[in-house]
Amino acid sequence: TTRDDEYLQTTENKESNTLDNWSLDRLPKNMHKYYHQRYSLFSLFDHIKIDMEGWFSVTPEQIAIHLANRLKGGTIIDAFCGVGGNTIQFAKKCDKVIAIDNNKTRLECAKHNARVYGCENIEFIHGDYMQLDLKADKVFLSPPWGGISYNQSEFSIDDMPIKGTDIFNRTKRITNDICFFLPRNLKKEELMFEDVEFEETFLDGKLKSYSVYYGNLINRH
Ligand code: MGP
Ligand code: SAH
């Protein structure tokens, strides 16, 4: 098939080859847990491309599906798309996805992975979300939390590489319908800019993260 041909061509490229053919020995010990979870990150893992930061920040597929059901319809901005874990599922449930990342390698991974999943209604933008002027019905925010050890100390949204408060305020210029994807050790009071819903996101009975909803994304019943 065309997709298989495309896949073979890209794996022949030496540079992109470092983004697939992963094995345990290519990952540091503290990241082995992500390798063991690889099919829960992407059910089609054998065909996807991912880099180090992608490994520890991608949203597991079942959580991404749940989020896409909550955020379905219209045009959505995936402001920090990474390797595309959320973008792919939004593409299946929304009319259009605008997927942004300021890292070229991860944006290329996201484009490749979206093709693997057969998604076409995605506009990819290489750029800084905080500098872009875009229109959409809703915005999904899964920014960098500050690395693999975000959970070792107290977490504050304003200690993230891009301050959470700045991200929220910037996003309010686009829409009130916002979903923030944040660590399970968040401080709820920091997120109470306005009326808000906190949703614990579980995977295999284990609390993974919080999804924080605003505006019409709040489940009222
Ligand atoms: P985790 O806490 O690193 O792993 O990330 P896990 O499996 O809960 O292991 P444990 O040892 O902590 O028990 C949990 C999930 O949070 C990941 O699968 C990602 O979906 C998400 N995540 C982790 N980080 C470091 C980030 C990040 O920087 N940004 C975003 N958006 N998501 C992240
Ligand atoms: N939800 C994604 C993971 C996001 S990780 C997934 O499921 O795959 C956060 C991403 O934000 C990283 O890829 C990082 O490169 C990107 N990023 C950091 N600063 C950014 C900025 N200013 N604008 C856009 N993207 C940014």
Q: How far is the CA of 67 from the centre of ligand 2 (A)?
A: 17
Q: Residue 176 and residue 168: Cα distance in Å, rounded?
A: 10
**Segments of 4-45 assigned E as strands:** none
Residues comprising the chain, all counted: 221
Alpha helices in 60-103 (DSSP H): 61-70, 85-93
Give the N- to C-terminal CA distance of the chain in Å, as an integer: 46
Binding-site residues, ligand 2, Cβ < 6 A: 53, 57-59, 80-86, 100-103, 106, 128-130, 142-144, 162
Ligand showing the shortest atom-to-Cα distance for residue 131: 2
* Per-residue confidence (pLDDT) for residue 12, from 0 to 100: 47
Per-residue model confidence as pLDDT tens digits over 119-176: 999 999 999 999 999 999 999 999 999 999 888 888 999 999 999 999 999 999 999 9
Beta bridge partners of 183: 209
Q: Can you give the pTM of this predicted structure? A: 0.94
CA 142 to chain centre: 5
Question: Residue type for 156, please?
Answer: S
Q: Residue 43 and residue 29: Cα distance in Å, rounded?
A: 23
DSSP-derived secondary structure letter, 148: T
